[in-house]
Every structure is written in structure tokens, then in C-alpha cells.
Amino acid sequence: MAGSNLNNTHNPPLWLLAELTYSCPLQCPYCSNPMDIASYKDELSTDDWLRVLREARKMGATQLGFSGGEPLVRKDLENLIKESRDLGYYTNLITSGVGMDGERIAAFKEAGLDHIQVSFQASDEELNNFIAGTDSFQHKLEMARQVKIQGYPMVLCFVLHRQNTDQIKDIIELAIALEADYLELATTQYYGWAKHNQEQLLPTKEQIIAAEKVAHEYQEKMKGKMRIFYVVPDYFEDRPKPCMNGWGNIFLTITPDGTALPCHSARIIPGLELPNVNDHSIDWIWNDSPDFKKFRGYEWMKEPCRSCDEKEKDFGGCRCQALMLTGDASNTDPVCSKSPNHGKLVEDIRRIEANAKQNIIEKPLVFRNMRASKKLITSTGS
Amino acid sequence: MNKDSIPSIAPLFRFQWEEAQQCYVVLYPEGMVKLSPSAGEIMKLVNAADSVNTIIQTLSDLFDGADVGDDVVAFFTEAESNGWIQLK
């Protein structure tokens, strides 16, 4: 164990998210990548990644997620998987399935990949391809089948939002038809592109209540056959999610250019120094960098979090959400009903809902691609 | 539980020693459980070949004839319900 850990009370980074690239053949408008993806052209080399993986593993990281963008775009993925598995990581591939074929899945298996999660955009071809911005549905079905054929349990992920939440029954039936072992019904989180497109993505309360009912019925019905995970969007709750299980507590993201972040969205928080693995060791970044200390523990908290008896449960919620909705990342996440800004969030949701019911579209849906990113960078001057 | 059944680690789950944590863990998609030392000793013997009875006997021999039967059965019952192991 690294010497500097002995004097600290915090955990080592248990979860390493390796965002290998921002390139992606899909254009999902709910993508959580930053909107200025076009500004980051540099990607870490294979050797850089191997060094990052070795250093984090030595500190105690066990879970490793290969993500992106679309991680399949990286030609060295097989190599990175093999090295990671040899280091003792539990390796998760989080993918759209586009860029994969039976042969490549076999190569991943050979390299020791533990788990593949394939995402879908909808239960029918038309909506799936519209949301993904590419004709990918049939290929995804084939990849889901291939994953199973090659001896992996099938883990499917559907990201839910206003446009597909009403399909939940068909989505679950599709998962059953594909003989999925796990089904993740992931609610859109409003970061990056999703935040930009929120007016068109946020489901209505009625949609959520109906979807929740269907999800719970199937959870009961499929007990022992398929595990279904369903989480209500936090905007509709009155307590915040324990985001990242606390800042700098277990989670470490490395972006394609080597920037180390306490969460994949943290780049938006002003005042961070954004340490890069090209300049610093993972040990220094995790234990000594100002960024990872900034919201670690409870000292940084303001009221109502500071004196709250639930702070150890939810860590004050999400720093990025606090920033986006209140202008200050050290405020209480306004999802919390104890936050003085909670009323404003509720009002916002009501306004979006009212617009949704009348089909008022204030902004067009912006698909996530480099062209749109460049345009947004130019228009905001950032 | 049928003590002649043979436990094996379920697909998707992995059991290993973690040097940094100084404990055995069970790993699964996007998660990890730290095992107590006794749970670790039991899991070490899961090899898809030995029966529950054999594992009980091996552990008993290892710990000077201690009566570990109930503990092993209780652990396997929990491990099976968590999906870590399969009994065949």
C-alpha cells in the first residue's frame, strides 16, 4: 500500500472508469459526455493506459469500466482487457455493440473480459435508430445474442427518457425474448448533452408512475430468471442520490486525454485544476491533488447539509447538479427537499411537464456528434 | 441443502484475494463484497468438484476437528441466494 494512504482515512480508488475515447458511431442526445467533446482530440496511448491501470490497481482498484464514447473504437481494447485481467481487475465493457462482431467478442473472452453490457435505445427499430442517430438496432440484437452464445451472461441496458418510457413493457418483453440475465432500466441523468436536451427528455410524473408499476410487476414475475434494475429519476425524489458514493471516495474517472476526474461530469465545476495522468501519478492525484480533496468527506459542506443527520447517507447529493441548478457546486443538491433551492427545481420540472403535455418544444433535440459539439463551442465562445 | 451437491462459482462472479484490502472479495459487474476471514476460507475450497460434505470435512481437518458444518451450510445458503455460487 502506498505510504501516503496510511495517514489518511479515505478509501483507495476502488472503481476506475476508463473513458478510452470520445469517438462514437452513435449520437444519443442523452449522452453524459461533456458538450465540448470536439475540443479534446488527444487520446492516451496504450502505454499510458497500461501505466494508469497498473498504478490504480496497486492502490487497490478492483472494478474497471471501459467506456467512452464507444470503447470499441480503440483498436488496442483487446490488449487493454488482457493486461487489466492479468492485473486482477474485474473488467466491464460498457458498449453500444456497434463495432463488435462474434469474432471480437471471442477475442475479448480470450483476453479475459468479465462482463459486457450492451445498451439499447428503444424496443423497436424505428425509435432505437432515431435516438441512436444510426441504423444499429438489428446489429444490437445480433450482438446481444452473440454475447450469450459466447458464454457471457447477457446484461442489457436501456436508457429511459420521455420518448421511450411508455415503451417499458415492450422493452422488458424484448429483454425476455433475448433471454437477458440482467436488465438495467437506467433513467437519463441530466449531465452533458442530456442536460442540454432536458426539455425534450425529462419524462412526466405520470409516465414515471406508470413505468415504475410495470417494472415492479415484472421484477416479481421474473424473479429467479432475470434481474431487473429500475431507478426513479432523482429529479422526482425528495432526497438526493449518494452521487459517486461521495466525492473522491471510491470513484476515479480518467478521460480520453488523461484528465483525472472524481466523476465523469466534474469538468464543468469551475476552479478545478484537472490533473492529468501525463503529469502526475494516480497516487498523487487521488491522495494529494486539490481536486480530489475539494468535496471529500464533510468539511466542505454548507447548511443544510453540514448539520444534517443524513449526510453520511447521501453526501449532500451531486456536486455537478448543485452547480448546474444553483450556480454553486458546494450547495446542497436541490433534489433534496431541505435545500432552499428545491422549490425552484420543482417549478422547473412543472414547467417542462406542462410544455411536454402541450407538445411545446422550445429547443430542438441536439444529437451528440462532433459537428454539433463544434457548433456549440463556437456559439458559447468556450 | 443437499450436502452431496457441488458448489461452483457462478458465471459473472469472481473470488480473489485483495492485497490492498487484506481480505478475500467476491467481484461481480460493477460491484464487490469483502468477505470475512471464515467466509474466505470456505470460498477458497469451492472448485466445482468437491461437494459441500467434502468441503466441511476439509475445513474440519484444517481447524483441528472443529464442527464447522452449520457455518458452512449457512454460508453457502447465503452465497447461493446472493447468486455468488451455484449448487449442482
d(Cα A180, Cα A152) in Å, to the nearest integer?
Answer: 10
Q: Which residues of A touch B12 (CB under 8 A)?
A: 114-115, 152-153, 181
Closest CA of chain B from A147, distance in Å: 13
- Residue B29's φ and ψ, nearest 5 degrees, are -50, 115
Average pLDDT, chain A: 93
- Residue B14's φ and ψ, nearest 5 degrees, are -135, 140
Interface contacts A/B by beta carbons within 8 Å: 42
User: Residue A315 pLDDT > 90, yes or no?
Assistant: yes
A92: helix, strand or coil: strand
Whether B12 contacts chain A with CB within 8 A: yes
Closest CA of chain B from A230, distance in Å: 16
ipTM over 0.85: yes
Nearest CB among B18, B25, B30 relative to A92 is that of: B30
In this structure, are residues B12 and A115 in contact, taking their beta carbons and an 8 Å threshold? yes
Instruction: Give the burial class of A139: count Cβ atoms within 10 A of its Cβ; 0-12 exposed, 13-18 middle, 19 or more buried.
Output: middle
Q: How confident is the model at residue A164 (pLDDT cuts 50, 70, 90)?
A: very high
Whether B18 contacts chain A with CB within 8 A: yes
Closest CA of chain B from A375, distance in Å: 35
User: Residue B44 pLDDT > 90, yes or no?
Assistant: yes
- A189-207 exposure pattern, b = at least 16 Cβ within 10 A, e = fewer: bbbbbbbbbbbbbbbbeeb
User: Residue B46 pLDDT > 90, yes or no?
Assistant: yes
d(Cα A52, Cα A126) in Å, to the nearest integer?
Answer: 40
Q: How confident is the model at residue A171 (pLDDT cuts 50, 70, 90)?
A: very high
Note the helical H segments in B1-88: 37-44, 52-62, 69-81
- Residue A63's φ and ψ, nearest 5 degrees, are -95, 130
**Side-chain half-sphere CA neighbours of A54 within 13 A:** 8
d(Cα A89, Cα A57) in Å, to the nearest integer?
Answer: 7
pTM of the model: 0.92
Q: Which residues of A touch B28 (CB under 8 A)?
A: 90
- Apex CA A198: angle with CA A195 and CA A203, to 5°? 135
Q: Among candidates B67, B26, B21, B61, which has minimal Cα distance to B46?
A: B26
d(Cα B36, Cα A253) in Å, to the nearest integer?
Answer: 29
Do residue B32 and residue A12 have CB atoms under 8 angstroms apart?
A: no
* pLDDT at res. A381: 56
d(Cα A368, Cα A35) in Å, to the nearest integer?
Answer: 8
A137-157 pLDDT, tens digit per residue, is 999 999 999 999 998 888 999
DSSP A309-326: TTHHHHTTS-HHHHHHHH
Q: Which residues of B touch A150 (CB under 8 A)?
A: none
User: Residue A360 pLDDT > 90, yes or no?
Assistant: no
